[in-house]
């Protein structure tokens, strides 16, 4: 079992229009609605790849009810914690014409009361008793202190490994994680300087390891692939070239596949390779759709997706 925590979930609404221009009505296609938020995407992807997952998240208002319904229809083991505020929506618009672009509009989300936050953390800790990994992923809503993932680590039982995929102050205040997956921009923010080469990136990652933030850093480099960095080893993995239709969920798919591969006993470097295949497969799908298992397996095997 892989348990995920999403403190700022969303219903992801996606549509297409011929071209985005200011001051005009833009006629759009019928919108698609998907359950969203980092940990929810991870849980969905774990299940799509044949693993078992449980997703913990706060939910409130009509949008929260809609989110719960979407997850139920998808067959996900969803653990919604009721809140007073209303769950947010996010909005993605894809252009249809030549040189098409993707526009993503992300809302801040409802404020969480301390009692609501505590209920979310306790539910994760309860489920974690039978889990191999706990994945905390996504942004923090208003009212949540940046030390929340360090607090979560202190509440977990022995056994499950904590993976954190976040940014900003939430990432900076992480302590005791087993793995983090920052982007280069996020790692540079932690270092408060540019990291122009592999040596500087490795040194920064190992400083985080020495400080107790994490044991493993998987650094996402976008079109330049990814780096695996631990106290003893480092390795660069080139990107898997695929046509890009949407970047939504690519990082979450990577985290899900890595955790699942590790749960199945794969060595760390193979888990990163499997994660990169899942991240690349997500780029093939339009809007807010996650990747397909068959695409992940083909890319991991070195084949081209159909």
| Active site residue ranges | 252
Q: Would residue 299 be called left, alpha or beta, if left means φ above 0 and alpha means ψ between -120 and 50 degrees?
A: alpha
Q: Give the contacts of 219 (CB within 8 A, at least 6 positions apart).
A: 181, 182, 183, 184, 187, 201, 205, 226, 227, 228, 229
Q: With b meaning 16 or more CB within 10 Å and e meaning fewer, what string describes 260-289?
A: bbbbeeeebeebbbbbbbbbbbbbbbebbb
Alpha helices (H) along 156-289: 168-172, 184-191, 198-210, 250-263, 268-283
Given a contact cutoff of 8 angstroms between Cβ atoms, the answer to whether 45 and 253 are in contact is yes
Tokens 């079992």 appear where?
1
């Amino acid at each position: 079992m892989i348990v995920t925590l999403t403190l700022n979930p969303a219903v992801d609404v996606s549509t297409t229009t011929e071209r985005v221009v200011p001051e005009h009505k833009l006629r759009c296609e019928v919108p698609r609605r998907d359950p969203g938020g980092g940990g929810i995407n991870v849980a969905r992807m774990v299940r799509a790849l044949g693993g078992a997952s449980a997703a913990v998240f706060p939910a409130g208002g009509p949008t929260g009810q809609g989110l719960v319904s979407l997850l139920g229809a998808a067959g996900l083991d969803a653990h919604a914690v009721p809140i007073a505020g209303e769950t947010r929506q996010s909005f993605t618009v894809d252009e249809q014409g030549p040189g098409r672009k993707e526009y993503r509009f992300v809302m801040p989300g409802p404020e969480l009361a301390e009692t609501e936050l505590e209920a979310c953390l306790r539910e994760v800790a309860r489920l974690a008793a039978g889990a191999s990994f706990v994945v905390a992923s996504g942004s923090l809503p208003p009212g949540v202190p940046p030390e929340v993932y360090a607090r979560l680590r202190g509440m977990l039982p022995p056994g499950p490994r904590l993976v954190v995929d976040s940014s900003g102050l939430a990432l900076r205040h992480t302590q005791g994680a087993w793995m983090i997956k920052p982007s280069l921009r996020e790692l540079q923010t932690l270092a408060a300087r540019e990291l122009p080469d592999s040596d500087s990136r490795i040194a920064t990652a190992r400083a985080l390891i020495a400080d107790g933030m994490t044991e493993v850093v998987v650094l996402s480099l976008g079109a330049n692939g990814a780096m695996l960095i631990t106290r003893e080893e480092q390795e660069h993995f080139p990107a898997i070239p695929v046509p890009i239709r949407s970047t939504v969920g690519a990082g979450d798919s990577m985290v899900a596949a890595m955790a699942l591969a590790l749960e199945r006993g794969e060595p760390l470097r193979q888990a990163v390779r499997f994660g990169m295949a899942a991240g690349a497969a997500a780029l093939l799908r339009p809007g807010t759709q996650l990747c397909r298992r068959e695409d992940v397996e083909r890319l991991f095997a070195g084949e081209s997706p159909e």
